[in-house]
Amino acid sequence: MKILLPPSETKHPGGSGAPLDLASLALPALTSQREAVVEALVALAADPVHSQRVLKLSDRQAGEIEHNRMLRTAPTMPAADRYTGVLFDALDAPGLDRAARRWLGEHVLIHSAPFGPVGALDRIPAYRLAAGSSLPGLAPLRRHWADATSLALQDSGFLLDLRSEAYVALGPVPDSVSSAYVRVVTPTGRALNHFNKKAKGELVRMLATTRPRVRSLPSLLAWSDTTGVALRSSQERGVLELVVPA
């Protein structure tokens, strides 16, 4: 099983790892797409005023342009440790033991805008780029990433998709791949926004700590029955509901 997570707009700064090595990231077939985005983002960062306008940054956020300027030389850290925010706080990857972190590295992909899906333990620098951005000299990210990412995901086995719709658009799961898209709902089926990210982070943490061998949707549902995680099939094809209290 592979799990697809969205990234977070907020990130921890710094790091102690060597500079970005695009060839070392998961799904190496995407290296050329990654190189093109990094090149465009670094070039854009040379003009802070233009960067702020293109990336739609407030004056308070303008300092993050420096992260883009330093993409090739800045220190790195594992992607699961880099991102902050509700989902990643609930996952708490830095607080997991060695076996659980190893499981994350083997099973979790975090779908970033500049690098595409990267392994949870792949080392990346801080950056600023959202899924809906359009960089000068490059096609809109949706067109740049979608086909190549879908192709790269073809051999991933069963895929559990926890991404937001904006990141699904950057790499739809191919129809040929067994997958389930997770939607967080109340017991009555009402979709939830406030608890959405927290519930997804807690789900991945539970998977990492129990480390089940999941190869299909039925085996995932069997695991949920033994752990008390409230997963259920939806009437909507390809959708799995994660039920949390209202």
Q: What is the pLDDT of residue 194?
A: 72
Can you give the pLDDT at residue 97? Answer: 98
* pTM, full prediction: 0.96
What are the Cα distances from residue 74, in Å, to 16, 71, 81, 140, 205? Answer: 9, 6, 16, 25, 29
Looking up tokens 């800045």 gives 74
Whether 235 contacts 185, CB under 8 Å: no
CB-based contact 80:127 (threshold 8 Å): no
Instruction: Output DSSP code: residue 158.
Output: S
Number of structural domains (the chain) is: 1
Domain with 227, as residue range(s), is 2-243
Q: Report, as ranges of residue numbers, the positions in the chain whose pLDDT lies below 70.
A: 246
Q: Which amino acid is at 105?
A: G
Residues facing residue 241 across a β-bridge: 183, 232
- What secondary structure letter does DSSP report for 119? E
